[in-house]
Structure 1
Amino acid sequence: MKFLIGVVSLAVIFLLALMVSNDRRAIRYRPLVTMLFCQFVLAALLLKTSAGNKIIAVIAGVFENLMHYASEGVNFVFGGMQNPGQITFFISVLLPIVFISALIGILQHWGILNFLIRYIGLGLSKINGMGRLESYNAVASAILGQSEVFISLKQQLGKIPQHRLYTLCTSAMSTVSMAIVGAYMVMLDPRYVVTALVLNLFGGFIMASLLNPYVVDPAEDLLEVVEEKQSFFEMLSEYIMDGFKVAVIVGAMLIGFIALIALANALFTSLFGISFQHVLGYIFSPLAFLVGVPWHEAVSAGGLMATKIVSNEFVAMIDLTQGDLKFSERTMAILSVFMVSFANFSSIGIIVGAIKALNNDQGNCAARFGLKLLYGSTLVSFLNATIVGLFY
């Protein structure tokens, strides 16, 4: 039965993408089939094989050690402020982002990340049938972040046509920054986080190929990445401050969104006898069921999916892991993979703001397709969730 539902889910997701496609006749189906096949193979490898378990264990171990090292600096500054018996989210989850950001800066300064991004992107371009620029951007977004990646493309930004800009923005919103992966692993099972990271790379290309198909002229596919010349300590200071800004911004967004959701829940409960999240749960329950969530859990799961989209992934993750909801292993896998992306309303403003700061005209262009950008990246999350649901 789950395989039948999974096939129906894939058909619905692809149909939803085709409904708003810019040019259905221009869609190239061979790369789509190849990328979908890669998603299934990688999901099977990571979730259902001993080799995959070892890979995830190694990655999880690396981030566990990094979070431990980060805690040394955090405890030195904020030691003694934790609530006994409770996790202090800002201190334990968000502040380690400062250390991870510094580490990313060092690896980029030494050229290690740039080497990996270029050649992984080159390999991806052979699979997805797109340009090197799009492939570079997808890998770079997963490491540098959805707004920071555009800084590395600032020399080219003014020359990028609208159809390619949409693909760049979709891949940026469909991935997550490596700087906050450690924070995700504190709240979610690392195997689902790693699986989502891999599936996001291909999922973003699949949806962009359906919604926004085009062929890149090799003569126009020049990749000139900006590498700013900075001293080591100038770079290190900048990345440390960037990491702290990210932690503070995420913390501020959590305060605002959680408070607003609490207010909405209280108002809906007093007026209608049902919470706002429960209403969202009923609206999204058919979609939750379609991607593989058992029907008796669909309303609660749908509420978390909606929370992630209208607020952000951290708010939904907190509700998932610290709330009173008890889900089956299959539902936990589906929801965890669904949540690991930047596909939410606030990301529209982040991406548009980042591009606008570098090129005003291109920022305005990105703003015009903001809702379609969220639509496409959300379909990526549903696609990835469907694939994972088929393995449980």
Structure 2
Amino acid sequence: MNILIALLGLAIVFGLAFVASNGRNKIRYRPLIVMIVLQALLAFLLLNTVLGTTLITYVSTTFEALLDYAGEGITFVFGGVLAENRASIFFLNVLMPIVFISALIGILQYLRILPFIIRYIGLVLSKINGMGKLESYNAVASAVLGQSEVFISVKKQIGLLPKHRLYTLCASAMSTVSMSIVGAYMTLIPPQYVVTALVLNLFGGFIIASIINPYKVEPEEDILEVQEEEEKQSFFEMLGEYIMDGFKVAIIVAAMLIGFVALIAMLNGIFAAIFGISFQEMLGYVFSPFAFVMGVPWNEAITAGGIMATKLMTNEFAAMVSLQTLIEAGSLSDRTIGIVSVFLVSFANFSSIGIIAGAVKGLHEKQGNVVARFGLKLLYGATLVSMLSAIIVGLFI
């Protein structure tokens, strides 16, 4: 039964992508089939083999250690006041470690380790996905640097890109997440689904973009030139910059959570008073069919749909907090937890449209306006990427 529902879900996802395609006769099906098969193999490897379990355990343990190291700095600053309560403080336990992870990413960037890894993984991916080297590089870089920072590394090309290539770059940025906040995710949802989603979304972004926005990059256009820093920073200048960037991310996420969670609470109260049903429950009914075709059992589809809608309307953190509450209460099956967790690991939400358009506009105003015009289509495609990854994972839970 699960296989039949997964096939139905895949048909719906690909059908929705096909309907929105701007060049149906240009779709190349061979790379699509290869990438879908790779997604299935990777999901099976990560979730159902000893090798995959070992890999995920290693990644999880590494991030746990990093979070412990981050805790030393947090305790030093806040310990006198909140030493006993830190584990219950979301800002300290989940968001503040982003500062330390950001510093580590800066060090790896400075030592040229990350650029080397990103570039060559991107080159390998370009052989698989049938797209350009720039698109492949950007997808890998987005998963490390984040949806706004990644455009700085390709800023020389931004003004030269046609609309269709710019769409793919932005779609990759919205379909992935930043490595600096992966540790924060792992404190809220099971780590194995965070790791699996990161891998599957990388291919899923290309799959959906290849249907919605198909094109072929000519050899003379397929040039990868990554922006290097014009003025070499000293090590401590770089470190201070990345530490402050990480702190800004933590503060921004905290501010957005305060606003969004409070707004949802207000809407829940208003809807409950007027209609006898909360706002999230209403959205749950709207999104429940999508949750069901992703593989969520029907008796849990409304609850899952509400969490999915929360992510779309606000951000993934707000949705993960809701999911974590249900996990701790034992209200959801393992299957639903896995499928919904994978769906949540991306930047596919309305606020990301403004973030990405603003990042591009800061580098090239005209191209930023172009991104803003196809913003809703970006969100549409990125949401389909999340659904695709969740459906694939549902086959192996």
Give yes or no for contact 2:40–2:392 (8 Å, CA) kept in 1.
yes
Q: Does 1:366 align with 2:371?
A: yes
Opposite residue 328 of structure 1, the aligned amino acid is S
2:93 maps to 92
2:33 maps to 33
2:357 maps to 352
Distance 1:366 1:325, change over 3 A: farther
Give yes or no for contact 1:82–1:88 (8 Å, CA) kept in 2.
no
Give yes or no for contact 1:293–1:331 (8 Å, CA) kept in 2.
yes
Partner SS state of residue 391, structure 2? helix
Q: Superposition RMSD on alpha carbons, in Å? A: 1.0
Question: What is the aligned counterpart of 1:327 among 327, 332, 335?
Answer: 332
2:123 maps to 122
2:132 maps to 131
Q: Does 1:54 align with 2:59?
A: no
Report the Cα distance in structure 2 between the residues aligned to 1:81 and 1:163, rounded to whole angstroms: 51
Q: How far does residue 366 in structure 1 lie from its aligned partner after superposition?
A: 0.3
Give yes or no for contact 1:308–1:316 (8 Å, CA) kept in 2.
yes
- Superposed counterparts of 1:57-206, under 5 Å: 57-79=57-79, 80-81=81-82, 84=85, 87-206=88-207
Q: How far does residue 83 in structure 1 lie from its aligned partner after superposition?
A: 6.7
1:225 maps to 226
Question: 225-234 or 28-37: which moved more?
Answer: 225-234
1:278 maps to 281
Distance 1:86 1:73, change over 3 A: closer
1:360-386 Cα offsets, whole Å, 9 max, x none, are 001000000000000000000000111
Question: 65-74 or 83-92: which moved more?
Answer: 83-92
Opposite residue 53 of structure 1, the aligned amino acid is T
1:381 maps to 386
Question: What is the aligned counterpart of 1:302 among 275, 300, 305?
Answer: 305
Point out where structure 2 has 5 or more consecutive residues left out of the alignment.
none
Q: How far does residue 325 in structure 1 lie from its aligned partner after superposition?
A: 6.3
1:43 maps to 43
Q: How far does residue 148 in structure 1 lie from its aligned partner after superposition?
A: 0.2
Partner SS state of residue 88, structure 2? coil
Give yes or no for contact 2:357–2:369 (8 Å, CA) kept in 1.
yes
2:296 maps to 293
Question: What is the aligned counterpart of 1:313 among 304, 311, 316?
Answer: 316
Partner SS state of residue 58, structure 1? helix
Partner SS state of residue 156, structure 2? coil
Report the Cα distance in structure 2 between the residues aligned to 1:87 and 1:217, rounded to whole angstroms: 54
1:18 maps to 18
Partner SS state of residue 208, structure 1? helix
Give yes or no for contact 1:99–1:240 (8 Å, CA) kept in 2.
yes
Opposite residue 344 of structure 1, the aligned amino acid is N
1:93-120 Cα offsets, whole Å, 9 max, x none, are 0010000000000001100000000000
Give yes or no for contact 1:90–1:251 (8 Å, CA) kept in 2.
yes
Q: How far does residue 82 in structure 1 lie from its aligned partner after superposition?
A: 5.8
2:270 maps to 267
TM-score (norm 1): 0.99
Q: How far does residue 48 in structure 1 lie from its aligned partner after superposition?
A: 0.2
Report the Cα distance in structure 2 between the residues aligned to 1:140 and 1:2, rounded to whole angstroms: 34
Q: How far does residue 84 in structure 1 lie from its aligned partner after superposition?
A: 3.6
Q: How far does residue 86 in structure 1 lie from its aligned partner after superposition?
A: 5.7
Partner SS state of residue 64, structure 1? helix
Report the Cα distance in structure 2 between the residues aligned to 1:232 and 1:161, rounded to whole angstroms: 37
2:238 maps to 235
Give yes or no for contact 1:337–1:381 (8 Å, CA) kept in 2.
yes
Q: How far does residue 239 in structure 1 lie from its aligned partner after superposition?
A: 0.4
Give yes or no for contact 1:133–1:221 (8 Å, CA) kept in 2.
yes
Give identity over the alignment, percent. 66
Q: How far does residue 85 in structure 1 lie from its aligned partner after superposition?
A: 8.4
Report the Cα distance in structure 1 between the residues aligned to 2:372 and 2:40, rounded to whole angstroms: 33
Distance 1:83 1:250, change over 3 A: farther
Opposite residue 167 of structure 1, the aligned amino acid is T
1:237-277 Cα offsets, whole Å, 9 max, x none, are 11001000000000000000000000000000000000000
Report the Cα distance in structure 2 between the residues aligned to 1:157 and 1:241, rounded to whole angstroms: 26
Opposite residue 345 of structure 2, the aligned amino acid is V
Report the Cα distance in structure 2 between the residues aligned to 1:83 and 1:138, rounded to whole angstroms: 41
Give yes or no for contact 2:295–2:339 (8 Å, CA) kept in 1.
yes
Report the Cα distance in structure 1 between the residues aligned to 2:382 and 2:83, rounded to whole angstroms: 36
Q: How far does residue 224 in structure 1 lie from its aligned partner after superposition?
A: 1.2
Q: How far does residue 331 in structure 1 lie from its aligned partner after superposition?
A: 0.4
Question: What is the aligned counterpart of 2:343 among 332, 338, 350?
Answer: 338
Report the Cα distance in structure 2 between the residues aligned to 1:348 and 1:125, rounded to whole angstroms: 26
What is the number of equivalent residue pairs in this alignment? Answer: 392
1:166-196 Cα offsets, whole Å, 9 max, x none, are 0000010000000000000111111100000
Give yes or no for contact 2:75–2:83 (8 Å, CA) kept in 1.
no
Q: How far does residue 156 in structure 1 lie from its aligned partner after superposition?
A: 1.2
Partner SS state of residue 299, structure 1? helix
1:256 maps to 259
Give yes or no for contact 1:291–1:389 (8 Å, CA) kept in 2.
yes
Q: How far does residue 322 in structure 1 lie from its aligned partner after superposition?
A: 2.0
1:268-287 Cα offsets, whole Å, 9 max, x none, are 00000000000000000111
Point out where structure 1 has 5 or more consecutive residues left out of the alignment.
none
Partner SS state of residue 338, structure 2? helix
Opposite residue 307 of structure 1, the aligned amino acid is T
